A and B are shown apart, each in its own frame.
Chain A
């Protein structure tokens, strides 16, 4: 028998004033998977997370989390979820440990149990050395990890992470990614939002691209990349080079039409990757007396998907 999805929404919508923040959202997120909402600022990601975690009421449509309706049975939903909001929401003036013990007690743990749980999580997130310092002395990465720890006090079956790495330095981001991957191994269903394509690519099973409150594309990272085409060869020829002649020479190697891109003297050739292809292309151009300044292979990235969807790529071409 097929398991029902852990998170399911149908026609979910919310507007603030007259501007719709989210409109007609349909999602199905299976248990144990990592789902990523990807979109620029103002796309409506936070609004989706807030509706699913019972912080705001949807205007239309419905959503079920772990089998409970968010509007009708909010208390049951809150027992199943952990939320780590867009801004690390911990008390700056308390120590890291006191923050976790407080949340534990609010989750109805007895004090000794809350203390034990706080100690476990502090150890797990490598916060022990700073555990008894006020949080306002923490770095951004430490704050984020503490916030994540706070949302894991009761083992939630569903975890919402709203932009968990926005504003972190590259190293802290890598640490955070590892922490998140580790969580997913425990079978937690994860809904993640991000503005970073790379992050979606690294962490998500399914990516949903949002823009202005609507879903513009959804699929696995591999599917989405395939939708914008395959590998391309990017060539840069010196100014004044015979671009037309070069394109003719490149045509036999190409798997599609050769395109002029971006700056002067730049060519984009869709290719089927095979051993020696770069050598062959350079040899042929050299034989025709056309010098090459730069050559590189470009595998499709979620960036391409994003640009293709938002039209930024077309504008540049």
Chain B
């Protein structure tokens, strides 16, 4: 009744058991070599996960793009600098910072998961250098941050070229128009033509305050209908 699985298994052969590490190098050098080796193995581990689950790349590709679009087109009219400078000049640097924060958060969450699933225990019970668990993970996440930075920079450059080519109203694709509409519902942007000098509206209320109130009250939006 009990399936005799073990007897059908091929014998365990140990021809490939660990060879002793070469003892020719001095001990401190060997220790450093192995520490670097372990970091490299663990960095590859985190990157290999991206291959089996490419969804992880959403964080570093789609998300920065969305942030750039969102803050340059949708929220554009709502945010004014106190000294009248161009808000877009600060935009890309800000999104870089958000990306960095996001990846650091990813690193922390990833480590917490490794801790709770016992993977860290497994690493710590291996004859490897213990600090490399942290370093490997950080390096891999850093390389993902680079991807995010690259995407952000490209989006920023593309946007800048377009604003240079047509000073005035940016050419907006369907997606951007959608964003604009959503954005107008949210903060009642007075519209692209009046961008740059938004102020109080006809009813005399300061725009920002009323916008927030209207949004929360969910009142119908007449500016879209207009």
Contact = CB atoms under 8 A, between A and B. Distances in A.
Interface of A: 50, 53-55, 75, 78-79, 81, 83, 85-95, 98, 102-103, 105-110, 113, 116-117, 120, 123-126, 134, 150-152, 154-155, 171, 174-175, 178-179, 181-182, 186
A209 B219 CA distance: 70
Interface stretch (B70-78, B113-121, B145-153, B192-200): B113-121
B3 A102 contact: no
A94 B49 contact: yes
6 contacts: A85-B118, A93-B52, A106-B38, A107-B126, A178-B7, A179-B9
Chain A CB within 10 Å, residue with most, of B18, B21, B37? B18
B118 A120 contact: no
A95 B5 CA distance: 24
B189 to A, nearest CB: 42
A112 to B, nearest CB: 9
A78 B18 contact: no
Given A107-B127, A117-B17, A178-B5, 19 more contacts: A55-B124, A79-B127, A83-B122, A85-B121, A89-B119, A90-B122, A93-B53, A94-B45, A102-B41, A106-B38, A108-B18, A109-B16, A116-B16, A117-B16, A124-B10, A155-B17, A174-B3, A174-B5, A182-B6
B53 A134 contact: yes
A154 B20 CA distance: 11
Contacts of B10: 123-124
B124 to A, nearest CB: 6
Interface of B: 2-7, 9-10, 12-14, 16-19, 21, 34, 37-38, 41-42, 44-45, 48-49, 52-53, 117-119, 121-128
A4 B18 CA distance: 25
Contacts of B2: 174, 178
Contacts, number: 118
A54 B6 CA distance: 31
A243 B16 CA distance: 69
Given A78-B126, A106-B123, A107-B128, A86 B118 contact: yes
Contact of A94 (B48, B123, B124, B125): B48
Contacts of B45: 91, 94, 98, 102
A137 to B, nearest CB: 10
A78 B3 contact: no
B182 to A, nearest CB: 34
A89 B118 contact: yes
Given A93-B53, A123-B10, A179 B125 contact: no
A125 B119 CA distance: 20
The 3 closest A-B pairs by CB, nearest first: A89-B118, A178-B6, A93-B49
A28 B1 CA distance: 35
Contact of A175 (B5, B14, B117, B122): B5
Contacts of A83: 121-122, 125
Contact of B125 (A53, A174, A178): A53
B12 A175 contact: no
A182 B9 contact: yes
B55 to A, nearest CB: 10
A132 B48 CA distance: 13
A87 B118 contact: yes
